[in-house]
Amino acid sequence: MEHIMIITREQLLESLHADWCTFVQRYQRLSPEARATYLRQQGYARFADLLAHIIAWWQESLMAMPTMMSNPAYTSPDHDVDQFNAQAVNRFRDLSESAVIAIFEDLRQQWVDLVSGLPAEAFQNEKTANRLHIELIGHFDEHRLSADW
């Protein structure tokens, strides 16, 4: 039996407003040593590279969401995750950290707008609910700046 993820609009907006909205600021408040340790643990050389990875997955999911909603047969592309992440980092490698942060913040706002406007069925549909949970809650947990930083 498959596990159906229960997710609400309020949980997603809370993640976007409380978690993702302060993610950059919390990273920037870390000491240089803590920043280096965090990035090493995450597997990225620069904070902009970590954000590039998040941006790439968010862009893909934002584009997929309307199709997922309108086509029950839709299946997400099967990516080689390491290759996808490497391509994301490469795509943003020439941008400054502040430029990548601006793109990240723009996408975060696009997610707020999307989640705010989704019909109730999106949260009851297994595919869309799981995808929303993975991108916004699960992904944050993967990159969480723990309380002991």
pLDDT single digits (tens) 23-50: 999 999 999 999 999 999 999 999 999 9
Could you write out the DSSP letters of every residue in 100-134? HHHHHHHHHHHHHHHHHH--THHHHSHHHHHHHII
Task: For residue 2, tell me if it sits in a domain.
Answer: no
Predicted local confidence at residue 126, as pLDDT:
87
CA–CA distance, 123 with 115 (Å, rounded to integer) = 10
Task: For residue 149, tell me if it sits in a domain.
Answer: no
Measured in residues, the chain has a length of: 149
The model's pLDDT over 90-141, given as tens digits with 9 standing for 90+, comes to: 999 999 999 999 999 999 999 999 999 999 999 988 889 999 999 999 999 9
| CATH number of the CATH domain containing 77 | 1.20.120
Number of structural domains the chain divides into: 1
> What domain range includes position 68?
9-143
Q: Is 2 helix (H, G, I), strand (E, B) or coil?
A: coil
- Write the single-letter amino acid at 87: Q
Task: For residue 37, tell me if it sits in a domain.
Answer: yes
